[in-house]
């Protein structure tokens, strides 16, 4: 039995939310962020964020794990990003700080594009005819005017922040 499988769940938990390089027993290497380690099989679930909108998930089976090297620690934002990959329906659970940051960022982006926007509680009201609700993505826009809805959704999607 290999050294990795001899560890206990508390030891494996130290790798969660860290970027690692796993060298398998066949010398193949896998790199990504550890989402979890299965306590029964010792398999490592890795997430690799290839771009800002896509992630790939790989599972390195516990019996094949040779060596695990920590490359860097993750922070709270990375933990949320990892969790978001596995939330049903693709919806993220975001902190109040992150929601407020997104709201400010979107409002500034709309204003920069000369779109009138005001706040109504947690929502943003755009030109008096469209509402953007948390978490402030294109799918969170609603309006009876489909032309405005489509254009604002495009603008929200192009928001660099």
Q: What is the mean pLDDT of each run of 10 residues along the chain (161 residues)?
A: 87 94 92 94 92 81 93 88 71 77 96 96 94 92 93 94 79
The answer to whether the beta carbons of residues 98 and 136 sit under 8 Å apart is: no
Asked which of 46, 74, 90 is the last residue of a domain, the reply is 90
pLDDT at 161: 79
Q: What is the model's pLDDT at position 34?
A: 95
Do 62 and 119 belong to one domain?
A: no
Global pTM value: 0.55
pLDDT value at residue 80:
81
| First and final C-alpha spacing in the chain | 48
Same domain, 66 and 31: yes
In total, how many domains does the chain have? Answer: 2
Domain final residue pick, 52, 67, 90 = 90
- Does residue 59 sit in the same domain as residue 112? no
86 shares its domain with 110: no
pLDDT of residue 89: 53
- pLDDT value at position 86? 77
Q: Which domain holds residue 139?
A: 96-157
At 128 the pLDDT is 93
pLDDT of residue 142: 95
Whole-number pLDDT of residue 70: 95
Determine the Cα angle at 17 with ends 5 and 140, to 5°.
Answer: 135
Same domain, residue pair 22 and 75 = yes
Same domain flag for 22 and 77: yes
Spatial separation of the C-alpha atoms in residues 161 and 108, rounded to whole Å? 10
Residues in Cβ contact with 131 at an 8 Å cutoff, skipping those fewer than 6 apart: 120, 123, 124, 125, 141, 142, 143
């Amino acid at each position: 039995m290999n050294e990795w499988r001899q560890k206990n769940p508390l030891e494996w938990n130290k790798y969660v939310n860290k970027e690692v390089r796993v060298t398998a027993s066949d010398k193949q290497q896998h790199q990504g962020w550890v989402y979890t380690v299965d306590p029964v099989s010792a398999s490592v679930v890795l997430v690799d964020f290839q771009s800002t909108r896509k992630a790939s998930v790989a599972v390195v089976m516990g019996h094949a794990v040779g060596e695990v090297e920590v490359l860097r620690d993750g922070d709270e934002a990375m933990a949320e990003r990892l969790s978001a990959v596995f939330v049903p329906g693709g919806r993220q659970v975001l902190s109040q700080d992150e929601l407020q940051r997104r709201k400010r960022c979107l409002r500034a982006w709309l204003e920069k594009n000369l779109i009138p926007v005001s706040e109504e509680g947690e929502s943003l009201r755009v030109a008096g005819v469209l509402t953007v609700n948390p978490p402030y993505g294109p799918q969170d826009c609603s309006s009876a005017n489909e032309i405005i809805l489509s254009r604002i959704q495009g603008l929200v999607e192009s928001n660099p922040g």
